[in-house]
Amino acid sequence: MVPAYELPQWLEETDSGVILQVKVTPNGTRNRVSGQLGASLLITLTAPEQDGKANGLLIKFLSDSLGVATAQLNVVAGGSGKIKKVLIDAVRPSQVSMRLSPR
């Protein structure tokens, strides 16, 4: 069966939810989805890029944006880099795509 829509490049469906590939830009003026670059969703965060502060704020930002618990989100790759993969459990790809797609 073919899906009703094509997933964005930055979103991958898994058995338990989705994996989101993001490129984080720290030290921004506000937390926001700022665009798309290739296969990555660009997210600007106010946190500095030190001691995991950006990762913590990324999880909080995604949790608030998607209306899910922070316990459902986990950085599974790129923890110390700017390009990260975040596993989001128990969500539908369409929910993530609609709420996070760059406008």
Three-state SS for 82? coil
Report the predicted TM-score, pTM, of the whole model to 2 decimal places.
Answer: 0.86
Ordered domains of the chain (ranges, CATH):
11-89 (3.30.1200.10)
pLDDT, one tens digit per residue, over 64-80 is 999 999 999 999 998 88
Distance (Å, rounded) from C-alpha 1 to C-alpha 37? 29
pLDDT category of residue 3 using cuts at 50, 70 and 90: low
